[in-house]
């Protein structure tokens, strides 16, 4: 098995609440930027003018990917591998109200969608109605199933193996129908991280490498770097790259 491969880590022991507290306990400006960019990209996502079947890959202990897609989504599938994160997500959706951190990011979503968008007054209730949490691996995603796929900090943050990163990106692109929309955020120039003392892998990818992997499979690729610094801000983190694209109609 390749070193630092996905299968070599204890994903079912991922401490979801520690991760949430460490990364989202205090909303970070870079995450606000990424939520704004994702919401604007999803608001204009093809196919336009109808509700979308959406999937978020590696949702983990994070509701903002689902909140960004909520105004356009007919149904949202959260495709998450770890049993602890699945249980955490189920608990989060069953809560009486959104945590203040999610309410904060929902405000960013509201400000980012254009006037006239259908914005829920009770996003948690609507999320509960539309969301389905599925336990599965990015490597087992079905082909050509959804209109829109989102993926935040997954392909590069589940492995230290470049071939697995490429396979995860390929699955991400191919899980939407040809002409379907893709919205993602990647950690760049980052190193392995710890959650509650347990190690997890991150592949140190550059914006050029992400472009090289995505470009043959997509059109209209737009990329933006956010908050890149030469020192670590949070465990494993030194900046990110936001990307949006459309899956090419011709088979890639």
Ligand X SMILES: C[S@@+](CC[C@H](N)C(=O)[O-])C[C@H]1O[C@@H](n2cnc3c(N)ncnc32)[C@H](O)[C@@H]1O
- Interaction site with ligand X (CB under 6 A): 6, 11, 14, 23, 57-60, 62, 80-82, 85, 137-139, 152-154, 157-158
Write down the least CB distance from residue 219 to ligand X, Å. Answer: 25
Nearer to ligand X, 6 or 77 (CB): 6
Nearer to ligand X, 133 or 138 (CB): 138
Write down the least CB distance from residue 149 to ligand X, Å. Answer: 12
Of the candidates 50, 226, 66, 89, which has an alpha carbon nearest to the alpha carbon of residue 149? 66
Of the candidates 160, 158, 168, which has an alpha carbon nearest to the alpha carbon of residue 203? 160
Write down the least CB distance from residue 234 to ligand X, Å. Answer: 11
Nearer to ligand X, 152 or 248 (CB): 152
| Residue sitting closest to ligand X (CB) | 60
Write down the least CB distance from residue 50 to ligand X, Å. Answer: 26
Name beta bridge partners: 97.
Answer: none
Q: What is the DSSP string of 143-193?
A: SS-EEEEEEES-TTSS-S-HHHHHHHHHHHHHTEEEEEEEEEEEE-S---E
139 contacts 133 by C-beta, under 8 angstroms: no
Nearer to ligand X, 46 or 235 (CB): 235
Q: 39: which 2 tokens?
A: 């919401």
Q: What is the DSSP letter of 29?
A: H
Write down the least CB distance from residue 237 to ligand X, Å. Answer: 10
Nearer to ligand X, 45 or 133 (CB): 133
């Amino acid at each position: 098995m390749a070193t630092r491969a996905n299968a070599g880590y204890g994903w079912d022991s991922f401490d979801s609440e520690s991760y949430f507290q460490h990364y989202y306990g205090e909303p970070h400006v870079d995450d606000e930027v990424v939520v704004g960019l994702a919401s604007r990209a999803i608001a204009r996502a093809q196919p336009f003018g109808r509700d979308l079947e959406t999937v978020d890959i590696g949702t983990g202990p994070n509701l903002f990917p689902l909140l960004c897609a909520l105004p356009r989504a007919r149904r949202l599938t959260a495709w998450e591998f770890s049993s602890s994160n699945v249980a955490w997500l189920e608990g989060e959706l069953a809560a009486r109200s959104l945590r203040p951190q999610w309410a904060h990011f929902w405000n960013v979503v509201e400000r980012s969608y254009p006037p006239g968008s259908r914005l829920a007054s009770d996003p948690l209730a609507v999320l509960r109605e539309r969301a389905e949490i599925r336990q599965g691996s990015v490597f087992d995603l079905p082909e050509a199933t959804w209109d829109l796929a989102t993926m935040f900090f997954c392909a590069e943050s589940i492995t230290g193996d470049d071939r697995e990163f490429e396979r995860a990106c390929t699955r991400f692109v191919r899980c939407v129908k040809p002409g379907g929309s893709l919205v993602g955020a990647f950690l760049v120039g980052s190193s392995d991280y710890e959650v509650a003392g347990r190690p997890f892998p991150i592949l140190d990818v550059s914006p050029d490498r992400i472009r090289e992997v995505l470009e043959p499979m997509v059109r209209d690729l737009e990329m933006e770097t956010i908050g890149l610094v030469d020192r670590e801000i949070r465990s494993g983190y030194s900046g990110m790259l936001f990307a949006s694209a459309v899956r090419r109609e011709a088979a890639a």
